[in-house]
Amino acid sequence: MTWTLISASPSPYARKVRIALQEKNLPFTLQTEVPWDTTTKTPQYNPLEKLPVLILDDGKTAIYESHYIMEWLEAKYPATSLMPDDVDGKLFAKQVEVITDGICDALVLAFFENKREEGKQSGPWKERQMRKADGGLQALATFVDQAGGGEFLIGNKLTLADIAIASVLGWLSLRWPDHEWQRKHPQLKKYFDRLDQRESFANTRPAPQNISDPVV
């Protein structure tokens, strides 16, 4: 029996793990779900009811929370490392992931606020979440500008930082196609476009999902 990754087609969090598993040549079966629907299996493996969840060969042991799954993979399977070699580089890559996950978290909150009935949506709440997302995008753009235009953000190899940035930007492009990040941050867009051609990125691009049960 091989590993199973519970994922969702648009999930930026799950995409990080899908890319890492491919880059590390670790075989897995992709189980695509809608975690918001009552049919989801996610709560059977994660008490927090969130995907991604990596289920090991025994079909029971579950590794969950994307940043933890990434850390677990790197610790258990250090060959084809996705982290910089030096301590400061490792910490910087994790700081980048804090920002990308924080952008995702804010955008998820805004996304579902938009799903509330017209009269029940909170404008200030949505503005606050979009402000966090835009602040995070500015931080990423600054990192990329400071990196000087190389293919990868840190050093000369693919790391967690690149995987995390591409995952959030790919999802942003899917869910907020009119967002102006590409016009505001041309270097970030150039960096993303080049990264997104890499095989493990090209074959994990996000796709919309149909949520059939009411969420909010």
Q: Looking at beta carbons only, is 91 or 98 nearer to ligand GTS?
A: 98
Minimum distance of ligand GTS from residue 13's CB (angstroms): 4
Q: Strand, helix or coil at 196?
A: coil
- The total number of residues shown for the chain amounts to 216
Cβ atoms of residues 201 and 169 within 8 Å: no
> d(Cα 145, Cα 23) in Å, to the nearest integer?
26
> d(Cα 69, Cα 75) in Å, to the nearest integer?
10
Minimum distance of ligand GTS from residue 119's CB (angstroms): 24
Q: Strand, helix or coil at 32?
A: strand
Q: Looking at beta carbons only, is 8 or 140 nearer to ligand GTS?
A: 8
Residues that bind ligand GTS (CB under 6 A): 8, 10-11, 13-14, 35, 49-52, 65-67, 101, 108
Minimum distance of ligand GTS from residue 67's CB (angstroms): 6
Cis, peptide link before residue 43, omega less than 30° from 0: no
Cβ atoms of residues 112 and 176 within 8 Å: no
Q: Looking at beta carbons only, is 75 or 87 nearer to ligand GTS?
A: 75
> d(Cα 185, Cα 166) in Å, to the nearest integer?
14
In sequence order, the β-bridge partners of residue 63 are 54
Q: Looking at beta carbons only, is 111 or 152 nearer to ligand GTS?
A: 111
Place of tokens 């590794």: 63
Q: Looking at beta carbons only, is 67 or 194 nearer to ligand GTS?
A: 67
Q: Looking at beta carbons only, is 18 or 50 nearer to ligand GTS?
A: 50
Minimum distance of ligand GTS from residue 134's CB (angstroms): 19
Minimum distance of ligand GTS from residue 168's CB (angstroms): 11
Give the ranges where the chain is alpha helix by DSSP (H): 12-23, 66-76, 87-113, 123-147, 160-175, 181-184, 186-195, 199-202
Minimum distance of ligand GTS from residue 211's CB (angstroms): 10
